Structure 1
């Protein structure tokens, strides 16, 4: 292909990325759930007719994007080509075929041009409620966790399946929010389809075959070059986590071959009886993300780049099988990158960041009037982040959602959804691990029901009993803490109660430090003290 041909292909590739980015932004602008609208807990992408991901939106989480990359093939298996029509939209929240738990709704829509199937658009979003026990770890099977939607048609030839809509309304606590999000997801794919067809007509493309071949060829060449430069061998790591009522060991071995990198979770503890299990599709998503961060962070994420990574595991807590409860699959899914990084640190010394908070400190609150009082009920979901681990050459980022990448929810948006007040939300002094490079700080959050109200909350917290470890001589980050303002210590997982007049206090964990603390300059320490990052004992 001539140079001008390569340039033209690159321009079309950029156009394709802009198409999926507008697809994702449509979902954020129209979503009903604050987790989608304010935090970007979503994914969007375009696939070729074989179900291979061509491009993903920049907006979105690795867990959603990389599971969606595999999920489209499951939709194609369930719905034959002869049953696909223009105007169709397909849906599921199957944890093993979608994105790992019932709260994530995945929609896939075929895109036709002049009667020919040219692409699929897919998107995923976390909805506020799916019925059952609610968003928590207390269920003993997936059947208790909410309504299950097998792969089926949400719309056929543009006509919405109203029977499905009625079933959803009858099974969730916030029907308007949830159904609104379903329509938002469908609109997201529709916008992608319209922009793609418009682009293809403008450029004169009858299919995406040539463009797809260009994308995959360039990606494969770049990935082969990166993997060839890596040391070859096998390295292992173990990580101890809080678990539900007992610590859980996660284990991984990373094998780097000539043109492949494999992750094996053999040695990880068995499945739990609580909803902290993780389907392999989600564990794989974050294992691949960790590898991508180290091996090729600047190479586009698509079917060609993901094909260089393989993930294996016997049945265990990172490869949970039906009907295991999996509502909080994100907790261990978010710990997988630190697990993989620990193995890679042996292979690539001096290049891997320290451990961080890892799992989001999500909190789901079911707010209601106190006995004898008047008020309103609401389901309120809030995403919060601890500190990142320090990096070789840089301090860790504070209160940052890594590896999930979701945005911080504004206090005003959270308070608007229900009768609660957030009295405090600030960085937590002294929570960062010491080192030549300091870990990121956690934060302190204080939440109370409005007068005349109370709430139950689902705790989904990690790093309370097992702090983030420093690397290369760096100190550990501070562990997290959950308590009431009267000093009552709360559990890090499970549904619990905040009575009227009480305040829930969350102290989020900090990230580990990197390098010998003696190597940190006096000037930098003075800046930490000036900014209030240190406790009095360390000032």
Structure 2
């Protein structure tokens, strides 16, 4: 076979791997019990070679899961050597430092066998809404308060489920049906992926993935290195201040570009918090390299080869490298800010490729309470309602409104949420004028109002940011609107921590808008007119923000 034909064959097989892991993710999406997985795609799926190197990931899924998963498989192989695994074995953990950064994500790994030999591993992760403890919020002061900690262990041995583990799991969650169901869904999606890989290898007459793995990893690394070498060499530093739990937190990064790759160091970042907003280094790395890949070469596939070009470090004991037993339940609040910090560094090198600051972290409404009905009697509920703010403006185009970035979770449909819990959503709409003004404006946030449908209080386990420190505009662009949480009575609520919503009161949520880029006076009048026509601005806001009378559309 000549070299061109061989390369075409490798490319075809690479695309098949991508299709297999996408089916793996879709199986998980369609069999999961929890709405945050089914409706919001809070999951990831991928295939790994026998050395634990990620070859392909599903498009469906969150970057924080995907890029932590790239390290997780190595941890499993360290404890369970591949030559000791058997067909039908399945492994599980939610160790924050060997998984995705907090206890509410399960990581499940399954070895794939062909003709009795292990040829690959499949890994899948998904969020579970309740794993015991204080619940999914930042109030814990160590990891032991945050729920059931699952070390790396066997979920199945040669096809037989670990019933002792399952009993422990049921006894340590407020939602045993959903949590156990999601665990089986994770194992099932890996099984389907194993079947598809076996079919592919038989079709291409493969007995090993070693040669294909080398091709994928080497070509991906070479492509990413080539993209990095197009950048000017040197260092840049950026600092972003966010709300924190009880005091502001500084996220400080120094980015260094060389011919060997990009190094990112978080020296100077604030120390760990006493509450559960801290970030294990695996999660900090995951979102940092995601930001780098987006800006440097977004078209290059994400795998262990392309990721190897980036190096991330942070001082031990800082908020981005929290060590056990630090509380880390809502690590996403800070971790999802890191692409904005990365973009702040890259703005000094490639400003045309990076946006202004955005809402960044997802605004996840963790709602909990009790109700009763004739068939079930009195029972508790836990709902994770995903909402998003606006992204920052880009150099040539406005930011996206009510859009998840850097995570890519879908917003929870109101119709689904109202079937899951005794709640009614009175409003869920775009927040007028919340995008930072500029030549290109930031995306808009949302206004959400929710109330209990019964005569009972309910609780929010708040984990929001950008309330005291809104997303910043750049190059003369305005800041995005700050976030807000309060009650219809006018009482303000804290951005973080468990708080009760009295019966009859409405919970009011305003998610942040994204920052703008450039002088607002340079925004095209026609674009202001379109915003007015679309209800994104009021006439008063148009005058105040853009300094001229609104222009009517022709």
Per the normalisation by structure 2, the TM-score is 0.95
Provide the rounded CA distance (Å) in 2 between the counterparts of 1:194 and 1:491: 49
Please give the per-residue CA displacement for 1:336-375, whole angstroms capped at 9, x wherever unaligned.
Answer: 11111101111223332100000111111112149xxx75
State the Cα distance separating 1:535 from its structure 2 match: 3.5
Partner of 2:398: 395
Please give the per-residue CA displacement for 1:403-433, whole angstroms capped at 9, x wherever unaligned.
Answer: 0011111111111111111111000001000
The runs of 5 or more residues in structure 2 that have no matched partner are 543-554
Deviates more, 1:183-192 or 1:212-221: 212-221
Partner of 1:73: 74
Aligned partner of 1:447 among 445, 450, 453 = 450
Provide the rounded CA distance (Å) in 2 between the counterparts of 1:296 and 1:411: 36
Output aligned runs, 1:270-349, within 5 Å.
270-315=271-316, 316-349=318-351
Partner of 1:266: 267
Partner of 1:350: 352
State the aligned residue count. 536
Provide the rounded CA distance (Å) in 2 between the counterparts of 1:188 and 1:74: 21
CA contact (8 A) 2:393 2:399 kept: yes
Provide the rounded CA distance (Å) in 1 between the counterparts of 2:225 and 2:483: 41
SS of the residue corresponding to residue 195 of structure 1 reads helix
Partner of 2:242: 241
Please give the per-residue CA displacement for 1:11-59, whole angstroms capped at 9, x wherever unaligned.
Answer: 1111110000000000000001111100000100000000000000010
State the Cα distance separating 1:518 from its structure 2 match: 1.5
Aligned partner of 1:429 among 425, 429, 432 = 432
Partner of 2:545: none
Provide the rounded CA distance (Å) in 1 between the counterparts of 2:128 and 2:214: 35
State the Cα distance separating 1:206 from its structure 2 match: 0.5
CA contact (8 A) 2:371 2:422 kept: no
1:523 aligns with 2:526: yes
SS of the residue corresponding to residue 453 of structure 1 reads coil
Provide the rounded CA distance (Å) in 2 between the counterparts of 1:484 and 1:325: 28
CA contact (8 A) 1:367 1:449 kept: no
1:481 aligns with 2:484: yes
Provide the rounded CA distance (Å) in 1 between the counterparts of 2:390 and 2:174: 33
CA contact (8 A) 1:88 1:155 kept: yes
Partner of 1:136: 137
CA contact (8 A) 1:367 1:380 kept: no
Please give the per-residue CA displacement for 1:438-459, whole angstroms capped at 9, x wherever unaligned.
Answer: 1000000011111223211111
Provide the rounded CA distance (Å) in 1 between the counterparts of 2:222 and 2:135: 46
Provide the rounded CA distance (Å) in 1 between the counterparts of 2:210 and 2:414: 46
Partner of 2:102: 101
Provide the rounded CA distance (Å) in 2 between the counterparts of 1:214 and 1:68: 21
Q: Segments of 4+ in structure 1 off by > 6 A?
A: none
The runs of 5 or more residues in structure 1 that have no matched partner are none
Provide the rounded CA distance (Å) in 1 between the counterparts of 2:180 and 2:354: 43
State the Cα distance separating 1:223 from its structure 2 match: 1.2
CA contact (8 A) 1:377 1:418 kept: no
1:227 aligns with 2:228: yes
SS of the residue corresponding to residue 339 of structure 1 reads helix
